[in-house]
Chains A and B, each alone.
Chain A
Amino acid sequence: MIVGNAKPIEEVLSMIEPFDKLIVAGCNGCVTVCRAGGEKEVQILASALRLAREAQGRPVEIREVTLERQCDPEYVELMRPYVGDYQAVVSIACGAGVQFLAEHFSKTPLLPGINTGFIGVTEKQGEWSERCQACGDCVLHLTGGICPVTRCSKSLFHGPCGGSVEGHCEIDKEVPCGWQLIIDRLKALGRLDLYEKLRPMKSWKTSRDGGPRRIVREDLI
């Protein structure tokens, strides 16, 4: 999922300072699961903003909305009948959701209520970690199901660097060396041959280096 984290309430209050009539918009997708931008977080943020502004003597009217997904046009368009009645929208979806609302409602200021972190997994309740950097050319079948782009701090492709010490990365002793994880897993799978095989340099043209990416599926159009 895409994992996000709420912006400090002070920062959101600063963003909404010029406005008196707002929408706080959540998303039932990833940010609901990671407890950053779902229906409950919409309620909490809207209530906190109302309280803060009323205490300042400048009450704010807030409509609370949670779309099924802010990254799909069908759901975004559900806001069209009323979005023009409000001065701004605070979206607590991921960055994609915020931008998609902005694209659809060009006359309405869009304010991000969360910081989008990464594509990751739930380690346990309240703890998430990164697993994928969306490089666009997956090699997990060669690396024991562990991503060298994400799990190696340097995104190395041909084994650990000199900073790998007792299975940990030089950037932080709490961070496992991605390549140690890969080699251990390949050993466990009896597939160290995959590590020993020479491979050409990875092409990064499918990654961010080529600018904003697009996937077009002719069979679905």
Chain B
Amino acid sequence: MLVPCTGRVEEILVLKAFESGADGVMVVGCMEGDCHYLVGNIQARRRVARVADILEKIGIGGQRVRMYNLSAGEGVNFAAFANEMTEHVRGLGPSPINVVRKGPKK
């Protein structure tokens, strides 16, 4: 999902991703201190932390959401972060929501 700035990533967007069946969400913003809108990525970091706290408390798992920072020119780093997040979420397994939706193993 593309947004003009991670400052646009409000808590509900991340929560909706989990309601829509995501097993994990990574929020990728600019380097801290380099925000074109001054504090967009700082706000995003706080919101991600807030969502992680909610997910932890409701049994989905706070580890399923992470924030990464890199500059727009760091394609290699982006790929590395995406791979890292993918492995991380695979390690956690499917979200409890998806386990319930899939139903008991036959």
Contact = CB atoms under 8 A, between A and B. Distances in A.
Contact of A44 (B15, B95, B96): B15
B12 interface: yes
A43 B10 CA distance: 11
Interface stretch (B54-62, B72-80, B83-91): B54-62
A48 B59 CA distance: 10
Contacts of B54: 9, 44, 48
A47 interface: yes
Contacts of B19: 47, 50-51
B57 A10 contact: yes
A40 B95 CA distance: 24
Interface in A65-89: none
B66 to A, nearest CB: 18
B5 interface: no
A52 interface: yes
Interface of B is mostly: helix
A106 interface: no
B36 interface: no
Interface residues of B, number: 18
Interface SS of chain A: helix
Contacts of A51: 15, 18-19, 55, 58, 60, 97
Contacts, number: 45
A50 B60 CA distance: 11
Contact of B97 (A13, A44, A55): A55
Most buried by A among B15, B58, B101: B58
Contacts of B100: 54-55, 57
Contacts of A54: 97, 100-101
B16 interface: yes
Most buried by B among A40, A48, A50, A56: A48
Given A9-B58, A10-B57, A55-B58, A47 B96 contact: no
Given A51-B55, A55-B60, A55-B100, 19 more contacts: A9-B57, A13-B58, A40-B11, A44-B15, A47-B15, A47-B19, A48-B58, A50-B19, A51-B15, A51-B19, A51-B58, A51-B97, A52-B59, A52-B60, A54-B97, A54-B100, A55-B59, A55-B97, A57-B100
28 contacts: A9-B57, A9-B58, A10-B57, A13-B58, A40-B10, A40-B11, A40-B12, A43-B12, A43-B15, A44-B11, A44-B12, A44-B15, A44-B54, A47-B12, A47-B19, A48-B15, A50-B19, A51-B15, A51-B19, A51-B55, A51-B97, A52-B58, A52-B60, A54-B97, A55-B60, A55-B95, A55-B96, A55-B97
* 4 tightest Cβ-Cβ pairs between the two chains A and B: A52-B58, A55-B96, A47-B15, A43-B12
